Homo-oligomer: A and B are copies of this chain.
C-alpha cells in the first residue's frame, strides 16, 4: 500500500489562515418575508413610506378639536355635537367644525378638522347619541399617532448585516416589504468516501468490515447549525476517475466541498491526488489531536477541506476550523460565549506535543461545583462526542494536567446543560426504564465492576451494581431490586438445556459476558457451587464449558449470538429472552442496587432517582 505520511504538520493558526484565504461566500438571494427569520440582510432597507400612513386614532372614542375641550372636567363636561362615525379601514366622510366631534375607532383615520381625540371612557353620550359630553381636557395631538411617527419615509430602517429577528419582521411588514435580499447560505457539498461505508437504513455486512457512514449526516447537521446548506453527494468508491467526477460535480455546485467518511488510506490518497493535480493543495496535515490528517485546498471555483475519517476527528476539525468559516460566510455572529469553568476530575497526561482538543463531560458535585472529566473512547467512537458536553483545549506545550486543576470547557453549544444525574455501571432493563422518566440523565453502561471503580474515583453521582460484588467503596444505597438471570437459549429450548450442568457435560456452545458484568459475577458463584457439589476444582468446570472464556461486553450480545445461530446458550436476563421471544433457563435471581456518592445524596437528580427507584422496589414487593 502507498501510504501518505504527515511530516510537516501545520500549526492550528496556519490552518485557520489557510481556510480564511478561501472564499466560501454564497452570494445574494431574495427570500420572501416569511422565510427571512434568522437570515442576514445584505443591503440597507430604507422606509419607502410613512408608518402609519395617516394620522391615526390610538383608542376608541371621539375625534374633536382640542380647543373645544379646554377647561372641561368631570364637574363641567364639554358638550359637542356628534356629526359622524369613522371606522378603521374606512375613509372619513366628515370634516369637523368647531363644537363638533366624530365617533372614531382605534386605528381609524383622524377626520379633517380634528386635532385630538378623547377615549370613550372619559365621555358620556346625550341627546340620543347626537351629543357627547367630554369629561376631560385634551391637548392637540393627544391620543393620535401621527403619520410617520413609527417610521418615517426615507428613514434607514435596517442596516446591512442585520440578522433578521421576529421584531425586524414586524418592522418590514409595517413597511409593506414582502421580500428581502439576504446572504445566500454557503452551499457545502459533502462527499462520503470509502468502500466500507453504508448509508444508515441500508443493510450492513459486519463480517466484511462494513460500518455505517457516520460523518455524512453528522457533518451535514453541523453545516446547517453553522448557517450553511448541506448537500450530500452519493458515496464515491476509491476509483480515481469516479472520485474525481464526484468531487468536480460537488465543486461545480457548491461553495465548499468537504470530503470525509473514509479511513481507508487508499481513498485519502485518491482525493489527495485529485486536489493536488487538478486543484490546489494549500495545506496537508495539522498539528492537532484529534484531527491531524486534514487537507485544505481549492478545486475549480470551490474551496475544499478534507476532514479526517474518524468521527471524533472529523467533527473536531469541522468545529474548530470549518464551522467558524461557514458562519463567517453566512454572516452569522459567533454563537454566544458558552464556556464553563470547572475542576478537572482526574489527572490527564499527554505527551505528543500536538494541540489537543479533549472531549469532556460535566457533572455537578455535591456543593454545586462543576467537575470536568475526559470522555475518551477513542477517535473512532461516536459516543466520545455523544456522551460529552464540550471540549477542553490543551496547548502543545502542556503534557500534564493535575486533578483538581481549574479548566475552561467550551460547550458544544450554548444550549448544553450538564446532565441532572450522572450514573455508571451495569446495563439493566429496569434501570433503563427508570432513566426514561428522569429529566436529563447520563448513564454509561460500563459494567458493575468499572462502575464501582469510577464511583470510588468520585466522578459519577451513582453506580449501578449487580450480583455478588465486593463493594469496597463508601456509598449510600438508594435503591435495590432483583432480576432473574440465567441462560438464554433458542426459542422453545430445543436442546432441552436445564442448567449449568448441561453446559459442562454436553457439547454446547456457550457465550459469556466479560468480567465487568454483574451477570458474570453471579455465574462465577454458580460455577463455584457446581464445582463444590461435584467435589472438583472450579477451573475444571470452567474449562469444560465451551465459550466460558469468551466474554462479550454488551448486555445483549450473547443473546444475539444465539439468534445468529453462533451459540446454543448465552448468559442473560429473563427479561431480554422474553422481549426477543427466546427460551430461558433460570439460574437464579440477583440483586441490583444503585449506590450514590455520599456527597451527592442531596443533589436534585439523585433524589429524583431515589424516588423513582422507591417505586420500582415497592412494585417488586
Contacts and interface: CB of A to CB of B under 8 A. Distances in A.
Interface of A: 1, 3, 33-34, 36-37, 44, 46-47, 49-54, 56, 58, 60, 85-91, 103, 105-109, 120, 145-156, 158-163, 165-179, 194-202, 204, 206-222, 224-225, 232, 262-266, 309, 311, 315, 333, 335-336, 338, 377-378, 380-383, 385-386, 388, 412-415, 417, 427, 432, 435-436, 439-441, 443, 445, 552-557, 559-560, 576
Nearest to A120: B3
Given A58-B378, A311-B170, A159 B211 contact: no
A169 B557 contact: no
Nearest to A36: B221
A154 B215 CA distance: 23
Given A54-B207, A216-B173, A553-B149, A159 B435 contact: yes
A168 to B, nearest CB: 6
A286 B306 CA distance: 58
Nearest to A209: B109
Contact of A153 (B171, B211, B560): B560
Contacts of A213: 173
Given A53-B204, A201-B178, A155 B555 contact: yes
Given A3-B120, A145-B381, A153-B554, A208 B161 contact: no
A172 B201 CA distance: 10
11 contacts: A37-B225, A89-B194, A105-B266, A148-B554, A149-B378, A152-B445, A159-B436, A159-B441, A161-B439, A170-B215, A173-B382
Contacts of A170: 214-215, 217-218, 311, 315, 382, 385-386
A54 B103 contact: no
A241 to B, nearest CB: 19
- State the oligomeric state as a number of copies: 2
A441 B194 CA distance: 49
Contacts of A215: 170, 173
B432 A145 contact: no
Given A221-B166, A383-B150, A107 B315 contact: no
Contacts of A217: 33-34, 169-170, 172-173
A86 B177 CA distance: 62
Contacts of A309: 106-107
Contacts of A338: 336
| 7 A-B pairs with the lowest CB-CB distances in the bound complex, closest first | A152-B554, A154-B556, A53-B206, A178-B201, A89-B196, A166-B221, A89-B195
B380 A145 contact: yes
B209 A91 contact: yes
A196 B57 CA distance: 13
B200 A445 contact: no
Given A154-B555, A207-B54, A382 B174 contact: yes
B212 A200 contact: no
B214 A156 contact: no
Contact of A91 (B153, B207, B436, B557): B207
A380 B58 contact: yes
A107 B211 contact: yes
A443 B156 contact: yes
A34 B232 contact: yes
A160 to B, nearest CB: 5
A553 B152 contact: yes
B155 A427 contact: yes
A381 B174 CA distance: 9
A264 B427 contact: no
Contacts of A440: 159, 161-162
A350 to B, nearest CB: 18
A289 B383 CA distance: 49
A202 B88 CA distance: 18
A327 to B, nearest CB: 12
A581 to B, nearest CB: 15
A338 to B, nearest CB: 8
B89 A209 contact: yes
B176 A208 contact: no
Contacts of A161: 439-440
Contacts of A47: 554
B88 A150 contact: no
Contact of A218 (B85, B167, B176, B264): B167
Of A197, A222, A415, A554, most buried by chain B (CB within 10 Å of CB) is: A554
A1 B125 CA distance: 12
A390 B500 CA distance: 70
B386 A208 contact: no
A51 B166 CA distance: 43
A210 B52 CA distance: 9
A382 B171 contact: yes
Given A37-B224, A51-B212, A169-B218, 6 more contacts: A49-B206, A107-B211, A152-B555, A155-B445, A156-B445, A175-B200
A155 B553 CA distance: 11
Contact of A148 (B159, B220, B264, B557): B557
Nearest to A145: B380
Given A34-B220, A58-B380, A557-B50, A171 B386 contact: yes
A220 B378 CA distance: 44
A122 to B, nearest CB: 14
B174 A311 contact: yes
A332 to B, nearest CB: 9
Contact of A88 (B145, B175, B209): B209
